[in-house]
């Protein structure tokens, strides 16, 4: 009971503090809102995607395949190569607010980007169709040649192209599966039949893509009402920012909660607690519980707010729950650990100013390298700090990768136990 009384008292005090509330909720929401306002509206009946249009120069070098001469979607839309189909898809009405398309030769396209007359050159290779229908043995690369000064616009275009290519690839995979099943049943398709089937599958996927991509305009909560992870690029960015801010400031909350041990030591209330026959373990557990509850509230509010206001989809519930529990436990115990290393609230200021900021920035550094060549490195480098484990867990969670989420959550819980054990032991030694 004393543990609960200590936790409730700390919660009550924290939620009466303007600074605590500002850091728990205000700053993370403000940062995300800033990005939302910068790139799109979050209010109004017809919210618009306000990212400036990107000038895209397409270099379609696709020579098609001798096996398939026609990819037909309907009577009016048929294409001789998949490169043509990709270009046609990008020219749809859906994307007109995002990009202005022109075509050019490769050298001219690159020059246009170099001269900043275009933001991105999309270079479709000659073997594009063959690669997609499995008729090319060589590695075929589609190149995004972009203006290094721009990141968001080209990144969005890249995300759209990748999404369309995923659709094309799944057509190929479906063809393989159908072929295998038919072969098991004794039906052998010839090459022409296979390509006709692929054409139909790809066209079907292309049509479906068009339907799904209507979501791209929607950046309000209604945009994710179907609960799918097909969030538009702005939401994807906002989700990463919100998660990063939430993790960054959850660790501040955990440390701030643990800092009350030092504050109480300096104010004399800790000594008074000992005079009431309250053991050190009870006091530390009460402090841990307070931090734990504070971060739970913080995470629930931020996740919920982001979903309702920014339309952010956080992924399936269970992985999200695991990642959240891991974050709460790790941020709380990390707070106890770092505060056990310092002797006064003055020193604690350094912890807030330097240690938490450094570990926090490193932990969420994947945010700053999105869409850059070093992005992959930052999948693992942040794991050097606890915040990185949390960031990876949330990323895995919204990608719906339950196994990976569980692995990261397990890692977080192990770290949490370790940090709490060390912090607890150090405080006990000091306070006894």
Partner 1 sequence: MNPEAIKVQNLDKHFDDIHAVDDVSFTIHTGEIFSLLGPNGAGKTTIIGMISGLLTPDAGEVWLMGNSILENPKLAKAKLGVVPQEIALYEDISAQANLNFWGKMYGLRGQELTSHVDEVLALVGLEDRGNGTVSKFSGGMQRRLNVGIALLHKPRLIIMDEPTVGIDPQSRRKILDSVKQLRDQGVTILYTTHYMEEAQELSDRIAIMDNGKIIALGSHQELIEIVGELDRIRLTINEKSLNVIRAWESLGGVAKVTAEDETINLFVKDSNQVLPDVFETAAKENVRITGVDIQEPNLEAVFLHLTGRALRD
Residues forming contacts to partner 1 in the complex (CB under 8 A) are 1-2, 5, 9, 12-13, 16-17, 267-269, 271-278
Quote the least distance from Cβ 350 to partner 1, whole Å: 24
With contact defined as beta carbons under 8 Å apart, do 322 and 397 qualify? Answer: yes
Q: Are strands 78-79 and 99-103 parallel, antiparallel or unpaired?
A: unpaired
With contact defined as beta carbons under 8 Å apart, do 251 and 356 qualify? Answer: yes
Q: Which of 64, 69, 60, 61 is nearest to 82 (CA)?
A: 64
In the complex with partner 1, which residue's Cβ is closer, 268 or 373?
Answer: 268
In the complex with partner 1, which residue's Cβ is closer, 5 or 34?
Answer: 5
Quote the least distance from Cβ 160 to partner 1, whole Å: 52
In the complex with partner 1, which residue's Cβ is closer, 282 or 357?
Answer: 282
In the complex with partner 1, which residue's Cβ is closer, 12 or 37?
Answer: 12
Alpha helix segments (H runs only) across 17-125: 18-21, 27-39, 82-90, 106-114
Strand partners, 120: 56, 146
In the complex with partner 1, which residue's Cβ is closer, 226 or 344?
Answer: 344
Quote the least distance from Cβ 30 to partner 1, whole Å: 24
Q: Which of 380, 402, 248 is nearest to 320 (CA)?
A: 402
CB count, 10 Å around CB of 22?
12
Quote the least distance from Cβ 362 to partner 1, whole Å: 34
CB count, 10 Å around CB of 17?
12
In the complex with partner 1, which residue's Cβ is closer, 280 or 307?
Answer: 280
Quote the least distance from Cβ 351 to partner 1, whole Å: 22
Note the maximum CA span of the chain.
89
Quote the least distance from Cβ 16 to partner 1, whole Å: 6
DSSP-derived secondary structure letter, 52: P
In the complex with partner 1, which residue's Cβ is closer, 2 or 428?
Answer: 2
In the complex with partner 1, which residue's Cβ is closer, 17 or 50?
Answer: 17
Q: Which of 241, 259, 261 is nearest to 251 (CA)?
A: 259
Would you state the structure tokens that stand for residue 131, as one six-digit string? 């690669």
CA 244 to CA 24: how far, in whole Å?
A: 13
Quote the least distance from Cβ 284 to partner 1, whole Å: 15
Quote the least distance from Cβ 271 to partner 1, whole Å: 6
How many angstroms separate the Cα of 91 from the Cα of each of 14, 59, 80, 121? 53, 14, 17, 15
With contact defined as beta carbons under 8 Å apart, do 313 and 227 qualify? Answer: yes
Would you state the structure tokens that stand for residue 76, as one six-digit string? 């009016």
In the complex with partner 1, which residue's Cβ is closer, 229 or 265?
Answer: 265
Quote the least distance from Cβ 258 to partner 1, whole Å: 17
Quote the least distance from Cβ 358 to partner 1, whole Å: 30
DSSP-derived secondary structure letter, 378: G
Would you state the structure tokens that stand for residue 240, as one six-digit string? 């990463």
With contact defined as beta carbons under 8 Å apart, do 316 and 403 qualify? Answer: no
In the complex with partner 1, which residue's Cβ is closer, 12 or 368?
Answer: 12
The number of residues making up the chain comes to: 432
């Amino acid at each position: 009971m004393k543990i609960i009384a200590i936790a409730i008292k700390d919660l009550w005090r924290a939620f009466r503090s303007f600074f605590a509330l500002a850091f728990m909720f205000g700053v993370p929401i403000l940062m995300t809102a800033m990005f939302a306002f910068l790139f799109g509206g979050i209010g109004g009946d017809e919210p618009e995607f306000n990212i400036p249009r990107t000038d895209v120069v397409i270099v379609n070098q696709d020579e098609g395949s001798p096996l398939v001469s026609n990819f037909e979607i309907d009577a009016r839309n048929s294409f001789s190569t998949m490169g043509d189909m990709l270009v046609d898809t990008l020219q749809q009405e859906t994307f007109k607010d995002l990009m202005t398309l022109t075509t050019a030769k490769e050298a001219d396209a690159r020059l246009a980007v170099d001269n900043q007359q275009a933001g991105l050159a999309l270079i479709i290779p000659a073997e594009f169709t063959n690669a997609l229908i499995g008729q090319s043995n060589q590695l075929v690369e589609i190149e995004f040649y972009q203006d290094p000064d721009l990141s968001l616009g080209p990144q969005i275009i890249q995300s759209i192209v990748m999404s369309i290519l995923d659709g094309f690839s799944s057509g190929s995979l479906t063809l393989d599966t159908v072929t295998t099943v038919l072969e098991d049943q004794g039906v052998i398709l010839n090459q022409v039949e296979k390509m006709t089937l692929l054409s139909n599958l790809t066209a079907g996927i292309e049509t479906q893509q068009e339907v799904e991509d209507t979501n791209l305009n929607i950046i309000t909560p209604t945009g994710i009402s179907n609960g799918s992870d097909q969030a538009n690029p702005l939401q994807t960015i906002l989700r990463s920012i919100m998660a990063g801010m939430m993790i960054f400031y959850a660790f501040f909350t955990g440390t701030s909660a643990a800092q009350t041990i030092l504050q109480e030591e300096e104010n004399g209330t800790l000594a008074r607690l000992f005079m009431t026959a309250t053991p050190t373990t009870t006091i530390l557990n009460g402090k841990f519980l307070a931090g734990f509850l504070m971060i739970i509230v913080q995470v629930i509010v931020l996740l919920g707010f982001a979903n309702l206001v920014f339309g952010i989809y956080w992924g399936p519930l269970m992985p999200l729950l695991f990642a959240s529990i891991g974050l709460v436990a790790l941020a709380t115990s990390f707070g106890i650990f770092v505060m056990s290393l310092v002797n006064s609230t003055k020193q604690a200021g350094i912890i807030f100013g330097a240690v938490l900021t450094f570990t926090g920035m490193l932990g969420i550094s994947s945010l700053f390298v999105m869409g850059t060549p070093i992005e992959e490195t930052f999948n693992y480098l942040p794991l050097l700090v606890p915040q990185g484990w949390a960031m990876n867990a949330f990323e895995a969670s919204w990608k719906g990768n339950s196994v990976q989420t569980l692995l990261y959550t397990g890692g977080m819980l192990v770290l949490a136990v370790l940090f709490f054990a060390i912090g607890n032991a150090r405080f006990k030694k000091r306070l006894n």
